[in-house]
Amino acid sequence: MPAPTLAEVIFPEQANHNFSRILGDLKRSNLSITNRLGSIRHDASFVEDVAAALKLPLVANERCGSWYIDPARKAGSAYFKSTDGHTGQWKFSTRRLNLHLLELIGEHDGLVVFKMPDALSKTIPIWCAVLNRILFPAAPHHHQLFVPPSAVSASEASQIAARLPEFEAAFRALALDAAPLRARLTKPLRPVWTTPDDDGDAPAAGPVAAVAAAGFHPVVCCTSSRRVAGAEVAARGYIQGAGDDTENWAMGLTAGVFWRHAAELLGAAEGELPGLIAGFLEEEAQDAEAALGAGDCCVVSLLPRVTEQSVWAKSARHLEVGLGKSKAASRALRNSLPRICEFVSRFLNEPGTGDGKRVVVLCESGRELSVGVALAVYCWCFGASGDVRPDGDRESFNKTAIRVKLGQIMTALPDANPSRATLQSVNSYLMDWRK
């Protein structure tokens, strides 16, 4: 048999182009909304099984954790950011304190936090170690950092541990009263890990029992998605981390809307989903608008499109602020805050029902830009004792004072996730208001 020629061995350029197109089509087909929603439901089943086996409450780690649990089963939300655990960037976030979890942990002798593997392997262990130092200062044998050895090397663990005193000092600078926090716990905290790739029906049961027996409250870090090795098309429709990056595929669908209409969405054909999702979102918007109508209320709506300030005021109680999206919106916030805070201040200082007045700040997520505006309003319009400032009564602000009030907001609203750019705009406005 004659040897093949070079032209027969090497695919022509057109063939390579066709293969690339076919592979791209296969990948896009696998990453369909139908496959994403089905994969989310699959992962949610594992999370539910873990919680049922351990008899512990479920806490969704946002921003995407809520996709993986029926709201009826969710005991709460947290925000442990993956980047706070990235190598060389370790951090204890004073913006994401997650202190509300302590009550759940104390009441149930632990909890299950699910989603976001990077956060589970380092960010939560840092959180546990710092809080143990704050709440159990007389027990240095409980101040150790615990990390999963399969994911974190001994060298990296040592480097993180060396920074724990620095993280502890950052927490203490917030001047929060630790006594009520300590009263919620009977034991210090210790993380435990479980994934769908572990062996056994309840793989964390043994480690959780051991941690409890050793005198700790277990904080179970549950990775909800199983690992997919190789090409995604080989997973037969399963998508690892299917609920991530929703801005690229969800067409406005949120976790709450998905779970309220899961049966219809999971049972629909791919071509039917855009119309279904649009209809559900319209219903939700109408319900939300109706709910805001009652009471003595001032509403500040932050729109995902840019509008002129001349058209912002819709009434004496309603301001529609067109900031745009993403980082551009965060930057535009700096020049918008004077108008927003003056608008809210006028409302709060009107003769009226006093304590019955409400200020509602809306944005697309309810966790980012709206939190920045709420922080600015909280600082600008309210004094240290919580009383409304009279118009014209202002004070100088510094980062520490602003950070303390942000900590209070984050404690009350754990889903909040203001970006660094948003907080920079707030700080700039509050500290440079005379200019």
What are the sequence ranges of the domains in the chain?
42-222, 253-291, 295-431
Q: Which amino acid is at 260?
A: R
Q: How far is CA 411 from CA 62, 78, 134, 181, in A?
A: 15, 10, 16, 11
Q: Give the model's confidence band at 78: pLDDT under 50 very low, under 70 low, under 90 confident, else very high.
A: confident
Residue-wise pLDDT tens digits, 318-349: 999 999 988 899 999 999 999 999 999 999 98
**Can you give the pTM of this predicted structure?**
0.72
d(CA 320, CA 340): 10
Q: Give the model's confidence band at 22: pLDDT under 50 very low, under 70 low, under 90 confident, else very high.
A: very low
Write the DSSP string, 18-85: HHHHHHHHHHHHHT-HHHHHHHHHHHHHHHHHHHHHHT--EEEETTTGGGGS-GGGEEEEE---GGGG
d(CA 238, CA 32): 10
Q: Which amino acid is at 132?
A: N
CB-CB contact of 257 with 278 (8 Å): no
CATH fold of 295-431 reads Protein-Tyrosine Phosphatase; Chain A (3.90.190)
Strands 74-78 and 111-114: unpaired
Residue-wise pLDDT tens digits, 160-203: 999 999 999 999 998 888 999 999 999 999 999 998 887 665 66
Indicate the burial class of 94 (C-beta count within 10 angstroms; 0-12, 13-18, 19 or more). Answer: middle
CB neighbours of 123 closer than 8 A, spacing ≥ 6?
80, 81, 82, 84, 85
Beta bridge pairs of residue 58:
74, 112
Residue 115's pLDDT is what? 79
Please tell me the number of Cα atoms within 13 Å of 12 on its side-chain side: 4
DSSP H or E segment with residue 278 = helix 273-291
* pLDDT exceeds 90 at position 300: yes
CB-CB contact of 52 with 203 (8 Å): no
Q: Give the model's confidence band at 410: pLDDT under 50 very low, under 70 low, under 90 confident, else very high.
A: confident
